Amino acid sequence: MIGAGVIGVEYATIFNALDVKVTLIEPRDSMLDFLDKELLSDFTYQLRDSGMVLRFGHKVEKVVKTADGFCEIEFEGGGHVRTQMILFAAGRMGSTRALNLEACGLSTDHRGRLAVDPKTLQTSVPHIYAAGDVIGFPSLASTSMEQGRVAACHAFGFTAVEPPDYFPYGIYSVPEMSMVGMTEREVSDRHIPYEVGVARFRETSRGHIMGLDKGMLKMIFSLKTRRLLGCHIVGEGATELIHIGQAVLNLKGTLDYFVENTFNYPTLAEAYKVAALDAYNRMAGPDVAPHISGEE
């Protein structure tokens, strides 16, 4: 697999789960840099533990098909990989070349993408709108649908409520990963005092029932306001579980929601309670009563 972006990682892990021997090749020194580093570290460990070979920092110079039907991938600076099949997933291009956009005064970047106003989805030609992958990040079906709604409402003169600043990002790899809000690095870069709570799926009763020995849920809270700043999950059902964190974050909820509310038992969602208590113990200490919402 050449390319360790979202699509490359998803396909690589799917084939790996089907017992196909996979080598994942990426010219950068890491992959999926927008993820929280602790989450990515856990995910990378799981990939290597499952037998996948990760070749970071290897730029492909050329690919040659050999006489015996194999493929030879040669790297810049030496080194090679011999394989039966290659899947190339090193970036997407906007399907705009055949649209003759120049005729209406529009131009694209080197990947065929259009620039738009993020609030209205208008291009530089006001009566032409663009949404979805063709305008770049985040290039998700879920966010693209919201972009299309905003664009259609604006085009027909209706008021469209802007989507929240933070949306869930799902990566359908094996294991799944999902996140919403800020990463630990982003919080640190903004100089926000924070604390982290972590729960391992193996610590939950549902995890025991399902035989899970991997997977984690991590939440980041502000020390000053106790608000949830980010939620990051890797493991079984991550893209489903993330919506609890998404709701609390966008409603400006705090650590106390998770501490003071009951979660179904046994469920993987109980990991929210475990992670919140982990953060609470670090923030207040086990002998300090939790803050009650509305208390002065």
What pLDDT digit, counting tens, does each position of 232-275 carry?
999 999 999 999 999 999 999 999 999 999 999 999 999 999 99
User: Looking at residue 77, what is its pLDDT?
Assistant: 84
How many Cα atoms within 13 Å fall on the side-chain side of residue 116?
22
Q: Domains of the chain (ranges plus CATH)?
A: 6-83 (3.50.50.60), 103-155 (no CATH), 169-283 (3.30.390.30)
User: Looking at residue 101, what is its pLDDT?
Assistant: 92
User: Looking at residue 258, what is its pLDDT?
Assistant: 97
- Is-contact 175 235, C-beta < 8 A? yes
Closest among 92, 13, 115 to 54, alpha carbons compared: 13
User: Looking at residue 285, what is its pLDDT?
Assistant: 54
**pTM assigned to the model:** 0.87
Q: How many Cβ atoms from other residues are within 10 Å of residue 106's Cβ?
A: 17
Cis preceding linkage at 266, omega within 30: yes
For the chain, list the strands marked E by DSSP: 23-26, 53-56, 60-65, 71-75, 80-83, 169-171, 177-181, 194-200, 216-222, 228-234
User: Looking at residue 90, what is its pLDDT?
Assistant: 80
